[in-house]
Amino acid sequence: MARYVFITGGVVSSLGKGLASAALGALLQARGFSVRLRKLDPYLNVDPGTMSPFEHGEVFVTDDGAETDLDLGHYERFTGVAARKTDSVSSGRIYSNVLEKERRGAYLGKTIQVIPHVTNEIKDFLAIGDDEVDFMLCEIGGTVGDIEGLPFFEAIRQFGQDRPRGQVIYMHLTLLPYLAASGELKTKPTQHSVKELRSIGIAPDILVCRSEHPIPEKERAKIALFCNVRLDAVIPAYDLKTIYEAPLAYHRAGLDRAVLDAFQISPAPRPDMARWEDVMDRLQNPEGEVRVAIVGKYVRLEDAYKSIAEALTHGGMANRVKVRAEWIDAEIFEREDAAPHLERFHAILVPGGFGERGTEGKIKAAQFAREKGVPYLGICLGMQMAVIEAARNLAGVSDAGSEEFDNEAGKKRFTPVVYHLKEWVQGNHKVERRLDDDKGGTMRLGAYTAVLTPGSRVAGIYGATEIEERHRHRYEVDVAYRQRLEACGMEFSGMSPDGRLPEIIEYRDHPWFIGVQFHPELKSKPFAPHPLFADFIRAAVEASRLV
């Protein structure tokens, strides 16, 4: 039976619960324990799949097709443990499950209430797979006191009572604000946050205190006294230059030791921090620098492309260079020439997205990269725009476009080189979709196999002719244009096993030009950079030497 650590937050949001959870998972792994991390989000959306990237940041997709919070990306990047559908749940999903059961008569005519029916549903979710790992780390989204989060807090309170003594602990993150006028760190917000948590029956075992300034020992002692927490369980958490310093920083602060002490695990296995020491060595001691342009449509919020930003960093680590990524709004190229904006970069990346806005700018970015020999990586929509660019400028289909844009405009304007995917094979069964289906969860989601052409650039990069990558899209490049495009030099070097769906395109006579329908960034880790990103940055390094 797993030991449970519930991670909550107070005072303000965005304190770094997800990062603290991920770092704790990495530290427990370093001591030889197995871990799994989960996220419980209080919002009423069933999942973040229909949320705007400006509203919620990126949607992280698991192998089994769940659309989840971006914190699950942190969990995977820090632990290497592949997330599953059962590692993410929202209030919307919980209430939906309860109402479905009520409609089926599963509650035998009882009056359905938050307690016990909703809280029981949450506890059932928490217990899934608890015999598979040593530690289950569960992060509760939002802050203590949020009205929508109350059922989750009540559920984890009950869960601690239901489990044998010593199987559950609570870790609470708070903020210690600094008042420049008085030159003091103020502990009162932390005291009130803990008071709020205790008022609903949860007494924290560990406090992680975020601060921009060093926390004096007397302030730690004051927090321990007023919050009824052991002094060595008051853990300082300072701002870091990189998130990948977090495991080492939290280890120095004693977080892993405090957790094991709370569970009375003694003597504790010695930690092996070599993996994270190597990660930091590669980050802190680069042997060069490359500049990469990310031409996207959600550039006002960097979290919208969080996994891409991290995968580029990992690619830099693989090549021992610093990657200086710059975000460029694709719409600029619809008004201005792309060349002056892109000439100073060593590589160009065009990420995914939905809708027509900014797509003509992405097409111009792909054209610039193809014509100027600049390394190019197109992901999802970025691949589709590269194909449309080739169809227009090389294959003579001057009005090439996507059915997505015609559907959005409500009239036919393009020859659809990219079309709405109506059916595909998933495992051993056929999946069918209509254009008027619900938007949530109806895309081609999760891990699918691609077969690579022997001798192609991507086969060499992967060192394999069969791969599995994660998808999130509802439009596909029409394979009917394959012969025409390949006659112009674009090779369809990766296909679905049935040969119907293009997965990868490349130009063999280009220094490095690859488009992929899937999202390779979702599987990249600092200690295991994704091969596509590692080779993309290698190509950028070579391009930098030619300047």
Q: What is the 3-state secondary structure (H, E, C) of 51-101?
A: CCHHHHCCCEECCCCCEECCHHHHHHHHHCCCCCHHHEEEHHHHHHHHHHH
Does residue 60 contact residue 72 with C-beta atoms inside 8 Å? yes
**Superfamily (CATH H level) for 286-546:** Class I glutamine amidotransferase (GATase) domain (3.40.50.880)
136-157 pLDDT, tens digit per residue, is: 999 999 999 899 999 999 999 9
Catalytic residues: 380, 519, 521
| pLDDT at position 425 | 61
Q: Read out DSSP for 332-401? A: GGGTS-SHHHHTT-SEEEE----SSTTHHHHHHHHHHHHHHT--EEEETHHHHHHHHHHHHHTSS-TTEE
Instruction: Name residues whose C-beta falls within 8 Å of residue 331's C-beta, 6 or more positions apart in sequence.
Output: 297, 357, 358, 361
Q: Mean pLDDT across the stretch 259-269?
A: 93
123-134 pLDDT, tens digit per residue, is: 999 999 999 999
Instruction: Name residues whose C-beta falls within 8 Å of residue 36's C-beta, 6 or more positions apart in sequence.
Output: 2, 81, 87, 129, 132, 133, 135, 136, 137
50-94 pLDDT, tens digit per residue, is: 776 666 678 999 999 999 988 999 999 999 999 999 999 999 999
pLDDT band per the 50, 70, 90 thresholds, residue 301: low
pLDDT band per the 50, 70, 90 thresholds, residue 14: confident
Whether the pLDDT of residue 336 is over 60: the answer is yes
| pLDDT at position 410 | 64
> 3-279 has which CATH code?
3.40.50.300
Q: How far is CA 89 from the centre of its chain?
A: 15
Q: Report how far residue 74's alpha carbon sits from residue 293's, in angstroms, rounded to the nearest whole number.
A: 23
CATH 3.40.50.300 intervals, the chain: 3-279
Does residue 238 contact residue 249 with C-beta atoms inside 8 Å? yes
CATH 3.40.50.880 intervals, the chain: 286-546
344-354 pLDDT, tens digit per residue, is: 999 999 998 88
Strand, coil or helix: what is 173?
Answer: strand
Q: Mean pLDDT across the stretch 94-108?
A: 93
Whether the pLDDT of residue 467 is over 90: the answer is yes
